[in-house]
A and B are shown apart, each in its own frame.
Chain A
Amino acid sequence: MAGTLYADTYPLTALRCRELLEKREASALEIVDAYLARIEAVDGEVGAFLSVLGEDARAQARAVDAKASGERKPWEGVPIALKDILCTKGLETTCGSRILAGYVPPYDASVVAKLRAEGLIFLGKLNMDEFAMGSSNETSAYQITRNPWDLDRVPGGSSGGSAASVAAGEAPWSLGSDTGGSIRQPASLCGVVGMKPTYGAVSRYGLIAFASSLDQIGPFARTVRDAAALLDLISFRDPYDSTSLGLPEPLTLPTAVDLAGLRFGIIREYLGEACEPGVREVFNDAVAAIHALGGVCEEVSLPSVERGIAAYYIIAPAECSANLARFDGVRFGHRASGATDLMDMYTRTRSEGFGPEVTRRIMIGTYALSAGYYDAYYGQAQRTRTIIIEDFKQAFERFDFLVSPTSPTVAFKLGERMEDPLAMYLSDLCTIPVNLAGLPGLSLPGGASQGLPVGVQLVGPHFSEQGLFEAAHALEQKLAVKARPAGIGGGQ
């Protein structure tokens, strides 16, 4: 296998790609070709990509190379890969589901249109759990994605392809989406940086909806600085999404070298029995690093977060049961044959098109919203959400940021949790309450346990993205986690 490619592309950050292009030390075509070769070499094992845009990407790269430096936008020619939940005009978008096989959107998601306008080059679309429902990528209707650190293990989910592609050096950065942890948990399990912005920071237009009050698009990257740069590109107020607000100020690349004067609350509820000892060890080292950087860490209790999963598994299925009503075989996607009438067509189409996890959640949501149960389930969940928001508000009166492990465990084995939905849901114990409260949360690599990555989660108040990136950057420099996945590339 091409060792030079591994050496050349693997460590590249998006900022380094930009610099190589600016200084004309590499052409856009060379960079794109290097990533395409890397995908060719390792994606048979990793399985991160559902589709790869070889010729389109090369043609775009040649066009960039033909431009004078002064005519280029800052990120023009830098490659990126996209989770297949984002609508891409003229490119098949499946959301990991059979029901959308062959669907070619007639429009771009707003974030996709923005990245096109900035001249980024799309390498392809990334595998995911079907309709983003899952924590391991195993509910995808199309293929298994494997963790680059250990090919017998899951990459996490639902943005497992987004995390694995960056971890495997197949893309310098990628976009994912996070409803209950779907960016942060796979980032943690694959040893990359993943960020879920404040609800409303990024437009959801063209993001295929799962649970609209929780969904946010966000970046995956090799470094905190890259993640900040990508969020800066995609955060804006969008007239096509009336819940989008953008960020109060444009983000700048983080430069903090210490954490002096900052107070970090350690969420006590996340260090209990569910948290593996190996994860706790890495987390304790991260806390020591925060101390060493001049930050103050103290335990804080947020008693309501333990109810987060229960509230989430009412709210998210309820919203998904409404959002997925649009998949009815009339306007797009799969339609069953042999139906006797319209109702039969709807029912056959949906039963054939959706996989077991999606139908399970539609069933939970429909049950929770059905006559007689609405207040006991949905009403109670939304009131619990208020309590969770209040707990976070109180914590942020005392602390600048909250810190916890991102996932209570390292990457688990393929198949290990597929027979037990509830065990799978508990993978998102530490991330779900952050979505319920609409807060920004970031996972950065903290170290390894059993040779597998462990992520540290930082959470801030609404719209504290700049501060969150600064703190994460300082911590990242101090921790200096350098390890690379050993599972692929012949151990080069």
Chain B
Amino acid sequence: MISREEVIHVARLARLRFDDDEIGRLQHELSTIIDYIARLNEFDLAGVAPTAHAVDVKNVFRADEPRACLTQEEALANAPAVECGHFLVPRIGEG
């Protein structure tokens, strides 16, 4: 069983937060799922190359030419908070 501390640690890495009940639920659910996926370790796959891409593709190049892109206004249109043409966020460190 995955510990409470592990759930809290992984949640922090993923920028998520859960209340006590949810942590208990996740301990149980993640343990079930991880037990299931851990069965892959029953197979000896030493020497097998991992797949990164299922279809053979070569590098794709294009000319490095300027082309139309979003305007600043368009890029900011969906932002929850904007100031002076920039994305506005809460303070980053201790004030």
Contacts and interface: CB of A to CB of B under 8 A. Distances in A.
Interface of A: 102-104, 106-107, 198-200, 213, 239, 242-243, 245, 307, 309-311, 313-314, 321, 325, 328-335, 339-348, 350-351, 354, 359-360, 362-364, 366-368, 370, 376-377, 379-387, 389, 421-422, 436-439, 462
Given A199-B54, A370-B13, A307 B43 contact: yes
A214 B50 CA distance: 15
Contacts of B18: 351, 359
A213 B90 contact: no
B84 interface: no
Most chain A beta-carbon contacts within 10 A, residue among B33, B43, B79, B89: B33
A360 B37 CA distance: 14
Contact of B50 (A198, A385, A462): A385
B40 A386 contact: no
Given A310-B37, A384-B45, A421 B55 contact: no
Interface string B57-95: 100101000000010001101111100000101111100
B51 A422 contact: no
B16 interface: yes
B33 A313 contact: yes
B17 A381 contact: no
B60 to A, nearest CB: 4
A380 B49 CA distance: 10
B17 A330 contact: no
A422 B29 CA distance: 9
Contact of B40 (A307, A360, A436): A307
Contacts of A350: 14-16
Given A103-B78, A107-B70, A381 B40 contact: yes
Given A107-B70, A310-B36, A363-B30, A341 B55 contact: no
Given A351-B17, A389-B54, A332 B79 contact: yes
Contact of A422 (B7, B17, B36, B45): B36
Given A239-B62, A344-B90, A321 B40 contact: no
A385 B51 contact: yes
B54 A382 contact: no
A318 to B, nearest CB: 11
Interface string B21-43: 00000100110111011111101
Contact of B48 (A340, A346, A383): A383
Contacts, number: 162
Given A310-B40, A342-B89, A422-B36, A199 B30 contact: no
B1 interface: no
Contacts of A367: 2, 6, 10, 30, 34
Nearest to A378: B50
B52 A213 contact: yes
A55 to B, nearest CB: 22
Nearest to B93: A341
A370 B10 contact: yes
Interface of B: 2, 6-7, 10-11, 13-18, 26, 29-30, 32-34, 36-41, 43, 45, 48-55, 57, 60, 62, 70, 74-75, 77-81, 87, 89-93
B59 to A, nearest CB: 8
Contacts of A360: 26, 29-30, 33
Nearest to A325: B15
B92 A314 contact: no
A422 B53 CA distance: 26
A106 B45 contact: no
B7 to A, nearest CB: 8
Nearest to A243: B57
B77 A104 contact: yes
B57 A366 contact: no
B40 A462 contact: no
Nearest to A327: B15
A380 to B, nearest CB: 5
A340 B95 CA distance: 11
Contact of B80 (A335, A347, A379, A438): A335
A382 B52 contact: yes
A422 B33 contact: yes
Contact of B16 (A245, A351, A379): A351
A281 to B, nearest CB: 29
B79 A330 contact: yes
Contacts of A104: 77-78
A438 B54 contact: yes
Closest 3 CB pairs of A and B: A438-B54, A382-B50, A335-B80
